[in-house]
Amino acid sequence: MKAIAAIAREPHADFTIETIDIETPRAGEVLVRIVGVGLCHTDLIARDQFIPIPLPAVLGHEGAGIVEAVGAGVTKVRPGDHVVLGFSSCGNCARCDEHLPSYCRDFPRLNYAGVRSDGSTGLSIDGTPVSSAFFGQSSFAEYALAGERNVVRVDADDDLLKILGPLGCGVQTGAGGVMRSLACPAGSTIAIFGGGPVGLSAVMGAVIQGCATIILVEPVTARRDLALSLGATHVVDPGDGDVGAAIRSILPDGVDFAFETSGREAVVETALASLASHGLLGLVGVPPRPDSTLSINLAALITYGHRIHGIIEGDSDLDGFIPELVALHRAGRFPFDRLVRTFPLDQINEAIAAQARGDCVKAVLLPHGEAA
Ligand SMILES: [Zn+2]
Ligand SMILES: [Zn+2]
């Protein structure tokens, strides 16, 4: 079938809107009519070849939509089901067996290679292959081919479904990072570095966990204000000077947990230095370069029992955590919709610019416009 898609053709260049051919789903695959797809920083670093997926490619990895057709052997979903698309995993390695599929042994090959396991791609333009299967979905398009393992059935009406895609990556990374990876107990204290979609989702996760002190460090005033309205107890503007001193003025012993979303080495070091004894630092921010390194004082690390935890996708197991977040949203406890602004898919470049300017926190692209 044919579908309109946003194509990444060159690093650092605009996406182009083109018509692609999509194969009918093979065994184990699911064809999804995409009604909304979030725009994530990872899409841009893939376009720019920090993740070296061959171009041209259909990126997009925060899709949500309606199952259109299923391939042979698929039993988890059927046509008409409302689904959120998450990342891909193998289902039979040690970490998958532990319900930690984001640390799957085959995660890079399954999510970044741009092809199926047999080397084929389900997408083409005028007979020329186009990279697909980005995070098992490539959902910057009217339709996407996903795998049975990475579609999650959700109970959501059409309006909610349109904005649910970010639960499959950025939102679960922030919320799950706090709720699952760090597992902050009630009454604990946390500092969250960065008030983008991941950091603000972490703020909501910290409120759900019952954290007593929730400090957000973020330079943009509107985002600090949003964090306070979502339940942060304190905000720090790094433009005001020494962030570590500002955190110690709130909590002289430091924080039990720190959650770093920017990936910048200096911010990671500040986050580590803000920890209380036996504090735990969670890292989700993509570093500026593949060879970025940290300078850590080992004696201090050991003396204070500081712990550092690299986190992928908030330790989400998809099938358990995404429905849990939808249920929390329905209960009014997880208002992630306040982060979202929608754009038609053909305005993807305008959406990227708006997100870069800080005009919106999380852009969600609508391939079919307002229609479900
Ligand atoms: Zn696996
Ligand atoms: Zn993402």
Q: Are residues 133 and 7 in the same domain?
A: yes
Q: Are residues 78 and 94 in the same domain?
A: yes
Residue type present at position 244? G
**CATH number of the domain to which 257 belongs:** 3.40.50.720
Measure 36 CA to ligand 2 centroid, in angstroms: 14
Measure 40 CA to ligand 1 centroid, in angstroms: 23
What's the token pair of residue 10? 């060159």
Residue 322 lies in a domain: no
Q: Are residues 122 and 225 in the same domain?
A: no
Measure 346 CA to ligand 1 centroid, in angstroms: 35
State the ligand closest to the CA atom of 88: 1
State the ligand closest to the CA atom of 286: 2
Measure 242 CA to ligand 2 centroid, in angstroms: 30
Q: Are residues 290 and 349 in the same domain?
A: no
State the ligand closest to the CA atom of 139: 2
Sign of the torsion formed by the C-alpha atoms of 196, 198, 204 and 210: negative
**What is the spatial distance between Cα 241 and Cα 220, in angstroms, rounded to a whole number?**
15
State which of 265, 296, 311 marks the end of a domain: 311
State the ligand closest to the CA atom of 97: 1
State the ligand closest to the CA atom of 313: 2
Residue 257 lies in a domain: yes
State the ligand closest to the CA atom of 44: 2
**What is the spatial distance between Cα 51 and Cα 65, in angstroms, rounded to a whole number?**
26
State the ligand closest to the CA atom of 61: 2
Measure 147 CA to ligand 1 centroid, in angstroms: 14
Q: Are residues 277 and 304 in the same domain?
A: yes
Q: Are residues 156 and 267 in the same domain?
A: no
Measure 110 CA to ligand 1 centroid, in angstroms: 9
Residue 38 lies in a domain: yes
Measure 198 CA to ligand 2 centroid, in angstroms: 9
- Give 146-195 as a DSSP string: EEGGGEEE----HHHHHH-GGGGTHHHHHHHIIIIIS-PPTT-EEEEE--
Collect all residues with Cβ–Cβ distance below 8 Å to 296 and sequence separation of at least 6: 269, 272
Residue 86 lies in a domain: yes
Measure 263 CA to ligand 1 centroid, in angstroms: 26
Q: Are residues 159 and 22 in the same domain?
A: yes
Give the number of domains in the chain: 2
Measure 106 CA to ligand 1 centroid, in angstroms: 6
Residue 324 lies in a domain: no
State the ligand closest to the CA atom of 149: 1
State which of 311, 327, 353 marks the end of a domain: 311
Residue 161 lies in a domain: yes
- Give 272-314 as a DSSP string: HHTEEEEEEEEE-SPPSSTT------HHHHHHTT-EEEE-SGG
pLDDT number for residue 53: 95
Residue 325 lies in a domain: no
**What is the spatial distance between Cα 247 and Cα 216, in angstroms, rounded to a whole number?**
10
- The pTM of the full predicted model, rounded to 2 decimals, is 0.96
pLDDT number for residue 168: 97
Q: Are residues 164 and 254 in the same domain?
A: no
**What is the spatial distance between Cα 139 and Cα 151, in angstroms, rounded to a whole number?**
12
State the ligand closest to the CA atom of 59: 2
**CATH number of the domain to which 34 belongs:** 3.90.180.10
Measure 73 CA to ligand 1 centroid, in angstroms: 20
Q: Which residues have C-beta under 5 Å from ligand 2, the single-atom ion?
A: 40, 42, 169
Measure 285 CA to ligand 2 centroid, in angstroms: 11
State the ligand closest to the CA atom of 312: 2
Q: Are residues 181 and 141 in the same domain?
A: no
Q: Are residues 164 and 178 in the same domain?
A: no
**What is the spatial distance between Cα 320 and Cα 160, in angstroms, rounded to a whole number?**
19
State the ligand closest to the CA atom of 62: 2
Domain range for 29 is 2-168+335-366
Q: Are residues 71 and 145 in the same domain?
A: yes
pLDDT number for residue 371: 67
Q: Are residues 104 and 44 in the same domain?
A: yes
Phi, psi of 40 (to 5 degrees): -120, 150
Residue 288 lies in a domain: yes
* Sequential pLDDT tens for the chain (372 residues): 999 999 999 999 999 999 999 999 999 999 999 999 999 999 999 999 999 999 999 999 999 999 999 999 999 999 999 999 999 999 999 999 999 999 999 999 999 999 999 999 999 999 999 999 999 999 999 999 999 999 999 999 999 999 999 999 999 999 999 999 999 999 999 999 999 999 999 999 999 999 999 999 999 999 999 999 999 999 999 999 999 999 999 999 999 999 999 999 999 999 999 999 999 999 999 888 888 998 899 999 999 999 999 999 999 999 999 999 999 999 999 999 999 999 999 999 999 999 988 889 999 999 998 766
pLDDT number for residue 372: 61
Measure 40 CA to ligand 2 centroid, in angstroms: 5
Measure 81 CA to ligand 2 centroid, in angstroms: 23
